[in-house]
Amino acid sequence: MSLTLFPFAQYWQYYAAFTVLVLALLVVDLGVFHRRAHAISMREAALWCAVWFALAMLFAGVVYGFAHWRLSVDPRFASIPGWNAGKMAAQTTLEYLTGYVVEWSLSVDNLFVFVLIFRYFAVPNHLQHRVLFFGILGALVCRGAFIGAGVALIRFQWVVMLLGLFLVFTGIKLLFTGDERVEPEKNRVIRLFRRWVPVTAELHGARFWVKLNGVPYATPLMIVLLSLEMTDILFAVDSVPAIFAVTREPLVIFTSNIFAILGLRSAYFLLAGAVDKFYLLKYGISVVLVFIGLKMLWLNRVSAGQFPTYVSLAIIVVVILTSIGLSLLFAHKHPAD
């Protein structure tokens, strides 16, 4: 779609309202349902996965309604060949769903690293939800900044080509990358933080900061949170550009990305005990990255400007489900410790 339905400068109140809604949901999540730190059971994690997924699908209906209204009231869209408000609103909704699947599938790789980080720092199960909660808040800010920069730059064709090449390179590199050890203490940001901020040797419950003898100290839980944030920034470099191959609509990009992130915490507790079983998932993710990169470089150009969104969605879903299915069918004989 050549025209933007909801440019930020004109419809900033919609973005603000969505952000307020997300923050309200998170406040209810932490302040009501998870007010007391406790270990998340598989049943509870599955329930919350269903809740966040249902909210994401419910919002798809909101996207359709907003898009249909916008297309109906703005005469500029009537000049588009084959213009039909209902059809184009459905296309926008399909882009939202595809973006959600793309971001969710690429973000799943985060879960593997999250598990290793929690193991590395020996974070008790009952404290992991709190760390992930504040990690999500940081991720919202990070993704918003990445998306804002992407929307401003993606109008230049050379940026599109550069992002496409980057995704293809990343996907191919992932194919030949072995299982790497996670050593957060070697991260430069964390090392700099430790140099300037005193850190306690032991945990102090669910607190990130404590005051000892009048001096503020960070707890190891703060180091864990920083490690998760650094991980999310690294993964955002791959996942955020990928959605620009699906759509250029900033509201669709922003909302689908945020809903995918919101569901990550619950998915972590659902899959944490089974991450070693999905050892082929990284190959599925690498194929998805290469496909999306080729979509930006070539497929969109040979498809009259836009490779069919429903075909992209089908390919991504089939690749991810196949990699998961093959992992379970051919169980890893020597899972990583």
* pLDDT by position in tens, the chain (length 337): 456 788 888 888 988 899 899 888 888 877 777 777 777 777 888 888 899 999 999 999 999 998 888 888 877 776 666 678 888 899 899 999 999 998 888 877 777 778 778 888 888 888 888 888 888 888 888 888 888 888 777 777 788 888 888 888 888 887 887 665 666 677 788 888 888 889 998 888 888 999 988 889 999 899 999 988 888 887 777 777 888 888 888 889 999 988 988 888 788 887 766 666 777 888 888 898 888 888 888 887 777 667 888 888 889 889 988 988 898 888 765 544 4
pTM score: 0.81
**Token pair for residue 167?**
């995704």
Q: Could you tell me if residue 213 is inside a domain?
A: yes
Q: Which of 118, 100, 110 is nearest to 238 (CA)?
A: 110
Going by DSSP bridges, is the β-strand pair 209-212/215-218 parallel, antiparallel, or unpaired?
A: antiparallel
Strand partners for 217 = 210
Q: Could you tell me if residue 334 is inside a domain?
A: no
Q: Could you tell me if residue 110 is inside a domain?
A: yes
What's the pLDDT score for residue 100?
A: 92
Contact between 131 and 123 (Cβ < 8 Å): yes
Q: Could you tell me if residue 336 is inside a domain?
A: no
> Distance between CA 288 and CA 283 in Å, rounded?
9
**Token pair for residue 141?**
């800010």
> Distance between CA 224 and CA 115 in Å, rounded?
11
Q: Which domain holds residue 276?
A: 8-329
Segment holding 281, helix H or strand E: helix 281-294
How far from chain centre, in Å, is Cα 184? 21
Q: How many residues does the chain have?
A: 337
Q: Which of 126, 114, 133, 132 is nearest to 30 (CA)?
A: 133
What's the pLDDT score for residue 84?
A: 81
Q: Could you tell me if residue 320 is inside a domain?
A: yes
Q: Could you tell me if residue 3 is inside a domain?
A: no
Q: Could you tell me if residue 159 is inside a domain?
A: yes
Contact between 1 and 92 (Cβ < 8 Å): yes
Contact between 167 and 241 (Cβ < 8 Å): yes
User: How many structural domains does the chain have?
Assistant: 1
Q: Could you tell me if residue 337 is inside a domain?
A: no
Radius of gyration of the chain from Cα atoms?
A: 21
**Token pair for residue 70?**
């916008």
**Token pair for residue 316?**
């991504």
